Structure 1
Amino acid sequence: MPGFEEVKFYLQGLWLMILGNPAGVTRLDTSPRGSLRSFWAILWCLPPILLSWISTRMAFIAAMPPGTEAGGLFFFRLALSEFFGWIVPVLLAGVLLAIAGFGDRFNGVVAATNWLSIPFAYANGFLILLILLVPGLPGLIAFLWLILVSMFLISLERIYRMLCGGNTPLIVALVLMQIVPVLFLSDWINGFLGVAVP
């Protein structure tokens, strides 16, 4: 598992790319091995992911009849949903890049997307924590979440532009592919697995 210094090195590279500095690309391991190792980002994101699952369980229990149980199986199903949320956008991005003739950029896109998920996962975890600790701020939390999503999309756009050049249609499609399928797929999978909050 990559240590803190290595992850920080990658995140610094992503920050440079967001700022439009090509030097950031050299800090990112865009080899096939680097692409595979970037999936360690899932473990780095585990604390905010677990917090999200706990929040989902609390909302699920509150919405269900008294006596409803949501134990280990419930969390296993949430893990399955999380897994598909990570993998499906990667597969779709691979197909899109191959069709567009940019298949050689796939490893870079995967590595960048995975490592970028870390700071935004913790920012999202902070908002979830606010919801749990200060439940009377739904409007403010929704506004902050909208800002967070906007920052994520802008960051992806700038990073993908650095990796794929000036191919705007491809960049827009890649950005949308990282969020739109997840939104629809998450609702469907959660409903199918029985973990959707009514």
Structure 2
Amino acid sequence: MPRLEEVAHYIQGLWLILKGRPEGFGYLDFTERGFWRSWWSLVYVLPPTLLSYLALKTLVLSLHPNPAAVGIGFYFKLAAVDYGSTVITTITFLVVARFGGFGKFAAAIIIALNWLAVPLQWAFSLENLIQIYVPGSAVLTESAQFASLLLTAFLSYRIIDRIVGGSALVTATSLLTLYVVPQLSQYKIAQALALLPDL
């Protein structure tokens, strides 16, 4: 597992890349080993992920005051939705990249976005705290979630664009795949696990 100092080093590299400084690429490990190690980012975002589950539990209870519907099984189902869609999205993206002719960039894109998720997920914990502790904050929470989505898409676009050398078509294809597939797969998995009736 990468040490916290290593993760901070990767994030610094991402910041340099976002600023258009090519030396930022040297901060990240784009090897095969680096690809597999980048999935440790899921461990580093575990606390904000669990916080988002608590926020969703609060939302469900506000809509349907039935504590039995949000027991321990509820959290396992949410985890299945999250991690199941991550696997599906990654495989889909690798296939799209290969047949789209930009397979050589696919691993680097995944590595960079995996580590980008760490600071973003921690920063977006604010919207979950608002949902949990501020009653009647639906409008505020939705506004924060929309802003988070826009920021994530913007930063992801910038990083992908730097990695692929400014190819707008490749960047757009990557971004669409990495944002549309998770939405569809999460919906399908949630539907299969009977989460949607609860939500």
What's the TM-score once normalised by structure 2's chain length? 0.91
1:29 aligned residue: 29
Residue of structure 2 equivalent to 1:100: 100
Amino acid in structure 2 at the alignment position of 1:177: T
For the 8 Å contact 2:160–2:171, the answer to whether it is kept is yes
* Superposed displacement of residue 85, structure 1: 2.6
CA distance in 2: counterparts of 1:158 and 1:73, whole angstroms = 38
Structure 1 window deviating more from structure 2 (93-102 vs 154-163): it is 93-102
AA aligned to 2:137 is L
What corresponds to 2:181 in structure 1? 181
Aligned to 2:167: 167
Q: Show the counterpart of 2:148.
A: 148
| Rounded Cα–Cα distance in structure 1 between residues aligned with 2:130 and 2:65 | 26
TM superposition shift of 1:100: 2.4
Q: CA deviation at 1:51?
A: 0.9
Matches within 5 A, 1:61-72: 61-64=61-64, 66=66, 68-72=68-72
For 1:92-131, list aligned pairs within 5 A.
92-131=92-131
Deviations 1:74-98 (A, max 9, x none): 2211111111232222112211221
Structure 1 residue 44, shift from structure 2 partner: 0.5
1:60/1:195 contact within 8 Å kept: no
Conserved 8 A contact 2:54-2:132 = no
- Mark the CA change 1:157 to 1:67 in structure 2 (over 3 Å): closer, same or farther: closer
Q: Percent identity?
A: 28
- Alignment length, in residue pairs? 198
Equivalent residue number for residue 136 of structure 1? 136
- Distance of aligned partners of 1:31 and 1:70 in 2 relative to their CA distance in 1, 3 Å threshold: same
Provide the secondary structure at the position in 2 that maps to 1:34.
Answer: helix
CA positional deviation for 1:67? 5.9
Deviation (angstroms), 1:104: 1.9
Change (3 A) 1:138 1:58: closer
The letter of the residue matching 2:105 is R
CA deviation digits over 1:31-61, x for unaligned, max 9? 1110110000001010011111122223334
Cα distance in 2 for partners of 1:131, 1:65 equals 16
Question: Per the alignment, in what secondary structure is the counterpart of residue 194 of structure 1?
Answer: coil
CA distance in 1, matches of 2:65, 2:131: 23
The 5 Å alignment of 1:16-95 reads: 16-64=16-64, 66=66, 68-95=68-95
Q: Is the CA contact (8 Å cut-off) linking 1:20 and 1:158 kept in structure 2?
A: no
* Letter of the 1:32 counterpart: E
Unaligned runs of 5+ in 1: none
What amino acid is the match of 2:29? D
- Measure how far apart 1:184 and its partner are: 2.2
Distance of 2:141 and 2:61 partners within structure 1 = 22
Preserved contact between residue 61 and residue 68 of structure 1 (Cα < 8 Å): no
Aligned counterparts of 1:23 and 1:9: Cα–Cα separation in 2: 12
Shift of 1:116: 0.7
